[in-house]
């Protein structure tokens, strides 16, 4: 089945347990004919996911969803569902709204730009994003030395029926690696993939603030390091990091598309930037790949806008009416 649509957008880390974020989602403007990827950490409960699916499916023709760690958290509001059972219930809810999940067949995108295969994945993490001198057995202890806090997953992300999150990650990587390979083979590598998963595929894309300097190991797995080339990815979309950015590795574009916690984007909100400004255009994207030597990290223009006086910022917004968002609203970080 193909998708005769126009643009494909993405956003992640809506964290709808926060009332301000939930209210912001309600401001989402209609995009008839477009598609939207919800790239994980949309909410912590089925009720929050339901809100997200109700709103986004009413505004977009197609919606894709992949889980983050927050969707997998144990919650008394969901009857104590945990691990694989919680994930399966989220998938069931998504399908009831017509939302495409990692468990559904991958689909062709025939909108603006290249024809691509849209490939949501679910990989989790296995603590391998750690220094070579730190063993797996010491990993959590090392990450919490001093006054450092552990990731909340250590308490409420239950991997059941797997023995550990590592084991669950191994099983997921094996399964989705085969699914991506099958998607490539089905079209003889004719069409590139848009791979969308919550966790970064590469360790070198994990950039954390100083107070979280040892959280890398909760951010992905080294097993996916080469997936962007191995599976012919045009774009890789992820969230989790709460750092909106674009990177290039070879000819593949990597997009981190988080909204984040209220406090992390409150300044943007106070400056009049809304969720509509923070949607990331995935396809068609930029017309050309930057030349070698010019593929450094770029950041949404919101960073530049907030460094401008009010009138200058307003002029920039008016000048950028068409196209309104996407890669035309990115700039190098100052």
Task: Report d(CA 155, CA 286) in Å as an integer.
Answer: 41
Specify the pLDDT at position 305. Answer: 43
Distances (CA, A) of 226 to 25, 177, 202, 230, 245: 34, 11, 8, 6, 20
Report helix, strand or coil for 116. Answer: strand
Task: Quickly count: other Cβ atoms within 10 Å of residue 105's Cβ.
Answer: 9
What digits encode the pLDDT tens for the residues 148-163?
A: 889 999 999 999 999 9
**Burial (CB count <10 Å: 0-12, 13-18, 19+), residue 34:** buried
Tell me the pLDDT band of 58, cut-offs 50, 70 and 90. very high
What digits encode the pLDDT tens for the residues 246-268?
A: 999 999 999 999 999 888 888 88
CATH 3.60.21.10 fits 2-332, yes or no: yes
Q: Can you give the pTM of this predicted structure?
A: 0.87
Between 188 and 59, the higher pLDDT residue = 59
Q: Averaged over 68-76, what is the pLDDT?
A: 95
Tokens of 124: 């989790």
Using DSSP bridges, classify how beta strands 245-249 and 298-300 pair: parallel, antiparallel or unpaired: antiparallel
What digits encode the pLDDT tens for the residues 108-164?
A: 998 877 899 999 999 999 999 999 999 999 999 999 998 888 999 999 999 999 999
Domain coordinates in residue numbering, the chain: 2-332
Distances (CA, A) of 148 to 84, 123, 144, 157, 316: 29, 26, 5, 19, 41
- Residue whose tokens read 């889980």: 67
Specify the pLDDT at position 294. Answer: 66
Task: Report d(CA 86, CA 92) in Å as an integer.
Answer: 10
Task: Report d(CA 166, CA 171) in Å as an integer.
Answer: 9
Specify the pLDDT at position 6. Answer: 87
Q: Averaged over 193-218, what is the pLDDT?
A: 90
Report helix, strand or coil for 137. Answer: coil
Measured at the CA of 325, the angle between CA 255 and CA 118, to 5 degrees, comes to: 45
Task: Report d(CA 55, CA 21) in Å as an integer.
Answer: 13
**Sign, CA torsion 289/295/298/304:** negative
Mean pLDDT, the chain, integer:
87
DSSP code for 223: G
Task: Report d(CA 234, CA 251) in Å as an integer.
Answer: 7
């Amino acid at each position: 089945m193909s998708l005769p649509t126009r643009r494909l957008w993405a956003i992640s880390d809506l964290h709808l347990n926060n009332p301000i974020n939930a209210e912001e989602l309600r401001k989402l403007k209609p995009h008839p004919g477009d598609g939207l990827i919800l790239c994980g950490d949309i909410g912590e409960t089925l009720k929050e996911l339901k809100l997200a699916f109700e709103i986004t499916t009413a505004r977009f023709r197609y919606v894709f969803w992949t889980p983050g760690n927050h969707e997998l958290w144990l919650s008394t509001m969901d009857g104590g569902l945990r691990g694989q059972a919680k994930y399966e219930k989220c998938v069931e809810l998504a399908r009831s709204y017509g939302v495409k999940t990692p468990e559904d067949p991958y689909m062709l995108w025939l909108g603006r730009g290249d024809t691509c295969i849209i490939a949501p994945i679910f990989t989790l993490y296995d603590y391998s994003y750690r220094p070579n001198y730190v063993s797996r057995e010491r990993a959590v202890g090392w990450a919490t030395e001093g006054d450092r806090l552990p990731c909340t997953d250590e308490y409420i992300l239950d991997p059941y029926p797997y023995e550990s999150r590592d084991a669950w990650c191994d099983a997921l990587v094996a399964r989705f690696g085969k699914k991506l390979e099958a998607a490539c083979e089905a079209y003889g590598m004719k069409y590139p993939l848009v791979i969308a998963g919550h966790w970064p595929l590469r360790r070198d894309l994990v950039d954390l603030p100083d107070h979280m300097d040892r959280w890398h190991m909760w951010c992905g797995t080294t097993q996916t390091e080469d997936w962007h080339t191995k599976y012919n990815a045009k774009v890789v979309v992820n969230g989790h990091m709460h750092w909106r950015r674009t990177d290039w590795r070879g000819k593949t574009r990597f997009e981190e598309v988080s909204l984040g916690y209220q406090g992390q984007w409150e300044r943007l909100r106070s400056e009049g930037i809304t969720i509509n400004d923070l949607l990331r255009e995935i396809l068609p994207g930029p017309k050309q790949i930057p030349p070698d030597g010019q593929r450094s990290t770029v950041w949404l223009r919101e960073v530049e806008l907030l460094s401008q006086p009010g009138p200058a910022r307003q002029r920039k917004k008016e000048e950028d009416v068409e196209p309104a968002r996407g890669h035309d609203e990115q700039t190098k970080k100052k």
